[in-house]
Chains A and B, each alone.
Chain A
Amino acid sequence: MKFFASTLAVATLSATLGTAALAEVTVKVAYDADPVSLDPHEQLSGGTLQLSHMVFDPLVRWTQDLQFEPRLAESWEQIDETTMRFKLRDGVTFHSGNALTAKDVDWTFDRLKQSPDFKGIFASFTDVEVVDDLTFDLKTSEPYPLVLHTATYIFPMDSAFYTGTTEDGKDKSELVKHGDSFASRNLSGTGPFTVTEREQGVKVVFDRFDGYWDTASEGNVDNIILTPIKEDPTRVAALLAGDVDFIAPVPPTDLKRVEEHDGTTLITMPGTRIITFQLNQDRVEAFKDARVRQAIDFAVNNAGIVDRIMRGFGTVGAQASPAGYLGHDPALAPRYDLEKAKALMAEAGYADGFTVTMMAPNNRYVNDDKIAQAVASMLSKINIKVDLQTMPKAQYWPKFDERAADMMMIGWHSDTEDSANFHQFLTHCPDAETGNGQYNSGNYCNPEADALMAQANAETDQAKRAELLSKLEGILYNEAAFIPLHWQNLAWGAREGVHAEKIVNALNFPYFGDLVVE
C-alpha cells in the first residue's frame, strides 16, 4: 500500500512539473548502521567504504569473483620493482565541476598517510609522483605485491574543493577523528551519487550525479534513501511490508522468510570474515603443547556449528584464508574426531583435563554467544571445563586487549583482501614495535611462520607468493595455532525487480551506481 502511495506521489509530482512520463527511480535502503562521517578517511570501517563506493570512485575495484576492475585508473603498468604507473581516465569530473587530475590523487594519498586508520595499509607506500595531468607513479619502499589491493582504497578527493578555510577559519582539508570538520559534513567526489540530505542515525538521501563519467553503466537509480534500522526483526519487517527495497544484513533466523515471501528475494554469498578462538599460551601451560591445541581443534565440531547454530549460513573453515585468497589451501580440511581428540589429550598427559576461562562478545558476530556456548560444551567432552563469560562488544574489546581469558573469540576480515593480513594480526609473534600480532591473544609465536610472511610480502610473483602463503596456512593448521570455526556468509534482501544480485560482492560494498531497478 505504502509503495503505491509513494509511486503515486512521485507520479503526481513529475506530472505537475511537466516532465515526461519517466518517473524517477527511488530505492529505499535499510542497513544496520549509517556511515559515521562523510569524510572517507576518518574511520576504516565497512560503513565508510560502502559510502565511498557511492559518492567517490576508487582507482580500481574488486569484481564479484575477486578480480581487479579499472575505475578511475584506466590502465597501469609496473615500470620498475617499486613503481607502478597509473593512467587516469580522461574527462572525469567531481561533483563540484572540477576535473580529476593526477594532482588530486597525490593530494588524497598524502591525506591517507595522515589518517590514523588508513596509514597502516599505506605503510609500504612512500609517494605519489605526478607525471602529467593524467599520469602518476605510485611508489613503494620495497617491492610490494599488494599495490593494486591497496589502490582499491584510494578514492581520489577533490583537492580544490577541500582546500582553503571555512567561514569560521578552519582548514577545509582537516582530518579530525572526533569533533566537527569540513570534510565530515561536506563532500565532493567523482561517484555516481551526491549526498543531498543527511541526519545522522536517521537517514541519508542520495541523488544521482548528472555529470557521472561512467555512462556505460546500466544503473538507472535516481535517488537512494538510506535508513539505518538497527533491530533485525524490524529491518526484515520493513522489507516484507514493502517499506524498503533493499536490506542488509538479513539475520540467519529470517533467511527463509525473506526467500519464501512473495515479492522479495534473498541474495547470499560466502563471506571472508573468519571466526576463530585463540588459546592463550601465556595463561595456560597446557596450550603450549601442540597436541592439546590439536585435541581442541579435533573436539570442536565446526561443521555442526555451521549446520545447527548458523543454520547453514556460513562456510566451515580450517584455515584463515577463504577460497579465492592467494594463500587458501583447499587440501586443509576441517577436522572433527572426538576419539582422536581424547587420544591426543591422553598423549599430552591431560587425560583428566583441566579448567579454562573463555570470553566471547554477544553482539559483534552472528550468533557469537551461542557459538561460544557450543564450543564450551564440546570441550567438556574431552574433560576441559570451560568457564564462559559473554558480554557486549563495547566491554569485550577492552577485555580482549587485557588478554583477560584463556580462550578468546575473534573474527577477522583482511583489510587488504590478502592472506598475509590474517597472520600479521592474529598469529604473528606479538611485537609492540611493529604492531604485528596486535590481536594475537593466544601468544602463538613461530619464527618460521613469520619468516614465510615476510618473504611473501616481498614477493611480487603471484604464483610464488601463493605457494609461500599456503605453506604458511599449512604450518598454522598442523600446529593448531588457533581454532578456526567458519567464514560468516553475507546476506542481502531485495524487493523483486531490484537487481541487487549483480551489484553485491563478498566485500559487502554494493556498487549502487550500477543498480538496475525495473
Chain B
Amino acid sequence: MLAYLVKRVFQAIAVMFAISLIGFAIQDNLGDPLRELVGQSVSEEVRQQLRDELGLNDSFMTQYIRFLGNVLQGDLGTSYFFKEPALDVILKKLPATLELVAGATLIIIGLSVPLGVYTAIKPNSVLSRIIMGLSIVGISIPVFLTAILMIFVFSVELGWFPSYGRGDVVHVFGYWETNFATADGWVHIMLPSVALASIMLPLFVRLIRAEMMEVLQSEYVKYARAKGIRPYRIYFVHALKNTLLPVITVGGVQIGTMVAYTILTETVFQWPGMGFMFLEAVNRVDTPLIVAYLIVVGFIFVVTNTIVDLIYGLVNPTVNLARMGA
C-alpha cells in the first residue's frame, strides 16, 4: 500500500513535469501577452522594453529553467491579469468549480442508479424507452447548447432560476465560500449543475443498465431467484454491488473529464470558477496562469485516479494494490 502510494507520487510528479513542459512549449503559439497589457497606440519600442522586463525575450530554455527554479520554491508564476501568484488565483477559484462538480455529481449519482436499474429490469416498458431516448439526446447535444437553452427556458421565459453567477455565498474558511448554505445559493447552482450533469448522466445510466443486464443473466442471480429471495433484494443488494465495479472505474476517470467540461458550463453561466478563469486566461494570453492551470488540473487527475484505485481495492478485495503498483 505504502509502496504503491510512493510510486503514485513519483508518477504524479512526472506527469506534472511533462504537462509543464508542454504548456511552456505551446505558450509562444497562444499569442503575444503584451497586446493585452498595453493600448493600441503604444509604440513597438515601449513594447520591446516591457517584453524585456517580463523576460519574454529570453530563450526557451532560459525561461523554462527559471520557471522550474521558481516552481521548486512553490512559485508557479504571477498572473499578468490578476497581478497575484497564479496558484493563489487558481486556489481562490477552485472551490466554486468543486462545488459545481459536486452538485453535478450528486445529480448524476442520485439519478443514474435508479434510472439505470429500472431500465435494466424493465427494458421494454414505455418509460424505459423514453429514458433511453432522452439519454441519446443528452449525450449528443453539446453542453453549452444545453446551458443556453436552459437559460432561455428557465430564466428568461419562466423566471424560475437566475441566469448567471453564484448569488449569495457564505464564507466557510480560507478561500472556500459555499453555495449550499443559502436558498439563493441553491437556486444559483441549480442550472449550472444540471447542465454539467447532462453530459455524464446519460453515460452512467447506459453504463449501469448494460452492466446490470449482464449481471442479471449470471448464475448467482438465477440461483438467488430460485432460492426465492425477494426481487428487490436481488436487484439492489446482490446485483447492484457487482455492477458498481466498472462504474467506479469509469466514474473516477469521468470526474476528471468533468473538471474539463466546467470550462464550457462556467463560461456560459459566468460561474466564477477556474474553468471560466482558464478560458479568459487563454483569451488574454495570460501564460503563467495557463501553465499553472494545466499543472493543477493534471494534479487533480492524478489524485482522483489514485483515489479510485484505492476504492477499487476496498470494493474488490481480489485487487492487489501492491502488485498493481509494482
Residues of A at the B interface (CB closer than 8 Å) are: 1-2, 30, 36-37, 43-45, 116-117, 120-121, 177-180, 184, 199-202, 227-231, 233-234, 237-238, 240-243, 363, 392-398, 401, 412, 415, 425, 432, 435, 438-439
Assembly CA distance A398 to B280 (angstroms) = 19
Q: Are B156 and A120 within 8 A (Cβ)?
A: no
Main secondary structure of the interface of A (DSSP, over half): loop
Q: Are B41 and A44 within 8 A (Cβ)?
A: yes
Contacts of A435 in B (CB 8 A): 43-45
Assembly CA distance A242 to B157 (angstroms) = 11
| B150 nearest CB neighbor, chain A only | A237
Shortest beta-carbon distance from B279 to chain A in Å: 8
Using a Cβ cutoff of 8 Å, how many contacts connect chains A and B? 141
Q: Are A237 and B83 within 8 A (Cβ)?
A: no
| A116 nearest CB neighbor, chain B only | B46
Contacts of A177 in B (CB 8 A): 37-38, 50, 53
Assembly CA distance A201 to B283 (angstroms) = 13
| A397 nearest CB neighbor, chain B only | B35
Q: Are A117 and B38 within 8 A (Cβ)?
A: yes
- A sample of 25 inter-chain contacts (CB < 8 A) reads A1-B159, A1-B160, A44-B42, A179-B83, A180-B84, A200-B82, A227-B165, A231-B268, A233-B151, A234-B148, A241-B163, A243-B163, A243-B165, A392-B283, A393-B283, A394-B35, A395-B29, A397-B32, A401-B44, A425-B40, A425-B41, A435-B45, A438-B41, A438-B43, A439-B40
Contacts of A231 in B (CB 8 A): 267-268, 270
Of residues 66 through 110 on chain B, the ones whose CB sits less than 8 Å from some CB of chain A are: 78, 80-84
Contacts of B282 in A (CB 8 A): 394
Contacts of A243 in B (CB 8 A): 155, 162-165
Shortest beta-carbon distance from A497 to chain B in Å: 18
Q: Are A240 and B83 within 8 A (Cβ)?
A: no
- Known A177-B50, A233-B151, A240-B156; contact A117-B164, beta-carbon cutoff 8 A: no
- Known A180-B84, A233-B148, A394-B284; contact A227-B164, beta-carbon cutoff 8 A: yes
Of residues 23 through 61 on chain B, the ones whose CB sits less than 8 Å from some CB of chain A are: 29-32, 35-46, 49-50, 53-54
Q: Are A2 and B50 within 8 A (Cβ)?
A: no
| A176 nearest CB neighbor, chain B only | B83
Q: Are A237 and B37 within 8 A (Cβ)?
A: no
Shortest beta-carbon distance from A251 to chain B in Å: 13
Shortest beta-carbon distance from A69 to chain B in Å: 24
Q: Are A117 and B39 within 8 A (Cβ)?
A: yes
Assembly CA distance A178 to B84 (angstroms) = 10
Among B46, B156, B159, B267, point to the contact of A230 (Cβ < 8 A): B267
Q: Are B83 and A180 within 8 A (Cβ)?
A: yes
Shortest beta-carbon distance from B244 to chain A in Å: 37
Question: Is the C-beta of B207 less than 8 angstroms from some C-beta in chain A?
Answer: no
Assembly CA distance A49 to B57 (angstroms) = 31
Q: Are A120 and B38 within 8 A (Cβ)?
A: no
Assembly CA distance A323 to B151 (angstroms) = 39
Among B37, B155, B272, point to the contact of A201 (Cβ < 8 A): B272
Shortest beta-carbon distance from A409 to chain B in Å: 14
Shortest beta-carbon distance from B288 to chain A in Å: 10
Q: Are B83 and A184 within 8 A (Cβ)?
A: yes
